[in-house]
């Protein structure tokens, strides 16, 4: 092949690449126009109805690129109505969704960026979630403030929005249609009162790694009230096939026995973890039985164990996810927090629990790893909490622990440095 022929071939390749790039750029422009048009329609409808703040707590000066109705469509309806006509193919097959109903923790997307079809950074999104003072997870929560499991959902859900916006499911094979959180860590910077506030989430894609038809993506995120950041973290998610997820081997348990209730002191749930719920759905009823040994555990500072029997009809299966029912890992971690709370109430003076304030912050980041799932086919979940610190001062109780979470005898979650500080209210 002559040099001239090579040059001609390279020129043709260059022209083809230019055409592809132009098509991708135009596709991104059309999609952004679609999102802006949807936002304009919503604001017009709100104005016709006489509403000055058309979307929740949001100021009308904010441009909304994906509104609550589109998010609900993504949860249980048409994905194309959320992201545009290019996604219509996903409406006709099983595709990853965001949580819906009581587990949807996003009200609006204010900004989203990234090149469609390109799963590499830069890509980011800014979302908001309004927290009414009487929302279910505040009304039912045993401790003051927002449950840790709910804070995790608020932090993580925008990552799924950004991944979908980039067209991940359009690129992957059709049978790679399960989206799962794999691990993460969170640092708490402050402990503000979030009731009645709007939480802003800023999430950024760090990287995407593919192999064997599957994909792992890592994201960084932060939560703030206005410009005041109170939580930061990062987390990894994976796209998997049904076959892969059904091969649930869990986490290595060598030298790590499954705990039973013999020789443990039981905690009366009605006394130390009573139901706080006036509705037909007991969202936070995550424990049936709980016990402890103050001198046990891996660190010799105490162990707490608990269990919950499952019927397969629990409320969260409907809300997480459409066509793919699975218990949120965040609720497994919330069960662990409830176990720590009940233990603290049963082991420490009642003076700390008069209008108590709960705080999850600690010098060490709270981290988790998921290597399995809880589905309607499972019958029971268990946890064991190994305290690393358990002390009280004049004004507070401080608990720090590692924990494991099991389903039908298989360990599927591990948690490191989960902290709970309970302070006397003023």
Residues 157 and 89 in one domain: yes
Q: Residue 409 falls within a domain, yes or no?
A: yes
Provide the pLDDT for residue 34. Answer: 53
Q: Residue 15 falls within a domain, yes or no?
A: no
Residues 228 and 285 in one domain: no
Residues 128 and 56 in one domain: yes
pTM of this structure: 0.87
Residues 183 and 59 in one domain: yes
Residues 214 and 279 in one domain: no
Residues 177 and 325 in one domain: no
Q: Residue 168 falls within a domain, yes or no?
A: yes
Last-in-domain residue among 246, 280, 295 = 246
Provide the pLDDT for residue 278. Answer: 76
Please give the helix or strand (H or E) that residue 399 lies within, else none.
strand 396-407
Provide the pLDDT for residue 15. Answer: 53
Q: Residue 217 falls within a domain, yes or no?
A: yes
Q: Residue 330 falls within a domain, yes or no?
A: yes
Last-in-domain residue among 213, 246, 279 = 246
We report the CATH number of the domain holding residue 349 as 3.10.129.10
Residues 403 and 365 in one domain: yes
Q: Please report, for residues 139, 267, 276, the alpha-carbon distance to residue 270 in angstroms, rounded to integers and kept in the order given.
A: 17, 9, 10
User: Taking the CA of residue 210 as centre, how many other CA atoms within 13 Å lie in the half-sphere pointing to its CB?
Assistant: 11
Residues 275 and 228 in one domain: no
pLDDT tens digit sequence for 250-300:
998 766 666 778 889 999 999 999 988 877 899 999 999 999 999 999 999
3-state percent breakdown (helix, strand, coil) of the chain, nearest 5: 30, 30, 40
Whole-angstrom Cα distance, residue 371 to residue 241? 14
Q: Residue 209 falls within a domain, yes or no?
A: yes
Whole-angstrom Cα distance, residue 78 to residue 84? 10
Provide the pLDDT for residue 211. Answer: 84
How would you label 314-333 residue by residue, b for 16+ Cβ within 10 Å and e otherwise?
bebbebbbbebbbbbbbbbb
Per the structure, the count of domains in the chain is 2
> Of 375, 325, 342, which is closest to residue 266 (Cα–Cα)?
342
Q: Please report, for residues 266, 297, 415, 422, the alpha-carbon distance to residue 337 in angstroms, rounded to integers and kept in the order given.
A: 17, 17, 11, 12
Please give the helix or strand (H or E) that residue 71 lies within, else none.
helix 68-76
Q: Residue 14 falls within a domain, yes or no?
A: no
Q: Residue 6 falls within a domain, yes or no?
A: no
Provide the pLDDT for residue 264. Answer: 93
Instruction: Report percent pLDDT > 90 for the chain.
Output: 78
Span of 14-18, 105-109, 196-200, 370-374 with lowest mean pLDDT: 14-18
Instruction: Say if residue 85's pLDDT is above 70.
Output: yes
Provide the pLDDT for residue 11. Answer: 53
Last-in-domain residue among 219, 246, 273 = 246
Residues 347 and 417 in one domain: yes
Residues 291 and 237 in one domain: no
Residues 292 and 148 in one domain: no
Whole-angstrom Cα distance, residue 329 to residue 388? 22
Residues 282 and 412 in one domain: yes
Q: Which residue numbers are catalytic?
A: 320
Give the range of the structural domain holding residue 83, as residue numbers without chain letter: 25-246
């Amino acid at each position: 092949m002559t040099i001239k022929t090579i040059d001609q071939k390279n020129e043709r390749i260059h022209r083809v690449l230019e055409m592809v790039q132009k098509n991708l750029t135009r596709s991104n422009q059309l999609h952004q126009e679609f999102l802006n048009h949807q936002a304009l329609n919503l604001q017009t409808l709100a104005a016709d109805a006489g509403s000055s703040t058309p979307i929740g707590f949001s100021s009308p000066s904010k441009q909304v690129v994906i509104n609550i109705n589109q998010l609900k469509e993504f949860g249980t309806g048409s994905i194309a109505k959320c992201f545009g006509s290019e996604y219509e193919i996903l409406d006709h097959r099983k595709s990853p969704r965001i949580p819906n109903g009581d587990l949807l923790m996003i009200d609006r997307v204010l900004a989203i960026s990234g090149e469609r079809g390109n799963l590499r950074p830069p890509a980011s999104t800014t979302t908001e979630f309004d927290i009414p003072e009487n929302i279910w997870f505040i009304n039912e929560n045993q401790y003051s403030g927002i449950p840790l499991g709910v804070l995790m959902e608020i932090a993580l859900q925008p990552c799924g929005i950004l991944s979908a916006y980039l067209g991940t499911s359009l690129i992957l094979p059709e049978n790679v249609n399960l989206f799962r959180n794999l691990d993460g860590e969170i640092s708490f910077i402050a402990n503000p009162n979030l009731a009645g506030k709007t939480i802003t989430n800023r999430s950024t894609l760090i990287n995407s790694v593919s192999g064997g038809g599957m994909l792992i993506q890592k994201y960084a995120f932060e939560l703030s009230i206005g410009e005041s950041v109170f939580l930061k973290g990062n987390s990894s998610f994976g796209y998997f096939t049904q076959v892969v997820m059904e091969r649930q081997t869990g986490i290595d348990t060598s030298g790590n026995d499954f705990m039973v209730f013999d020789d443990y002191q039981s905690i009366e749930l009605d006394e130390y973890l009573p139901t706080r719920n006036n509705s037909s759905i007991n969202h936070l009823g995550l424990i049936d039985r709980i016990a402890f040994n103050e001198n046990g555990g891996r660190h010799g500072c105490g162990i707490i164990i608990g269990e919950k029997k499952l019927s397969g009809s629990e409320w969260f299966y409907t809300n997480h996810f459409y066509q793919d029912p699975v218990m949120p890992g965040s609720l497994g971690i919330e069960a662990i927090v409830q176990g720590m709370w009940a233990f603290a109430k049963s082991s420490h003076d009642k003076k700390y629990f008069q209008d108590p304030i709960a705080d999850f912050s600690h010098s060490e980041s709270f981290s988790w790893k998921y290597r399995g799932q809880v589905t309607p086919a499972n019958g029971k979940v268990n946890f064991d909490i190994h305290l690393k610190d358990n002390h009280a001062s004049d004004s507070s109780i401080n608990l720090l622990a590692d924990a494991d979470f099991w389903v039908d005898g298989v360990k599927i979650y591990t948690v490191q440095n989960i902290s709970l500080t309970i302070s006397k209210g003023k």
